[in-house]
Amino acid sequence: KRDAAKPGDDIWISGELGGAALALAHMTGKAQLDEAAFSSCAARLHQPMPRVALGLALRGIAHGAIDISVGLLAYLGHILECSNTGASLFMTELPVFPAVRPFLESNLGRHCALAGGDDYELCFTAPAGRRSRVENLSARLGLPLTRIGSITDGREVILRDKNGSILNFGET
């Protein structure tokens, strides 16, 4: 459900973010990738892997879940709005596609990771007490599940850098 996130819940992401968006950035001239990097990103764009098995397995574990095919911040925003909550996220914890990592200090890289779409990963919230169940599920499915932050009482999304300082999405 989109309206079931609770303050204190962990926020999790499946797989890796930003690869498909970086392929689009390359195709529109906003980024320059070598052939190997573009090929791996283009595969994410043209052959996404929807996480249906994960979605089914999260029943009874997660409070809320959503497919983030149009970008993490947009769809996490739906969960937060419906649940009347906020979030605290650590940029350094985001599981980004390898080709995106060199761009993370730029607006382009942050956009790919936070707002880029077409990755078809899941964002979900689960009580902190269920971390071991999520980790076991990750191992059972052979799918990385990464804890990227937590649900808060506030109504905003706070991004933090590697030092814990608040980071504005538009900062370079």
pLDDT, one tens digit per residue, over 68-125 is 888 898 888 888 888 899 999 998 899 999 999 999 888 899 899 999 988 889 999 9
What are 100's two structure tokens? 């995106």
Q: 68-81 in b/e burial notation, b at 16+ Cβ within 10 A?
A: bbebbbebbebbbe
Q: What is the pTM of this model?
A: 0.91
What are 137's two structure tokens? 């599920």
Q: At 171, is the pLDDT very low, low, confident or very high (cuts 50, 70, 90)?
A: very low
Residue-level pLDDT at 169:
63
62, 89, 15, 39 alpha-carbon torsion, rounded to 10°: 150
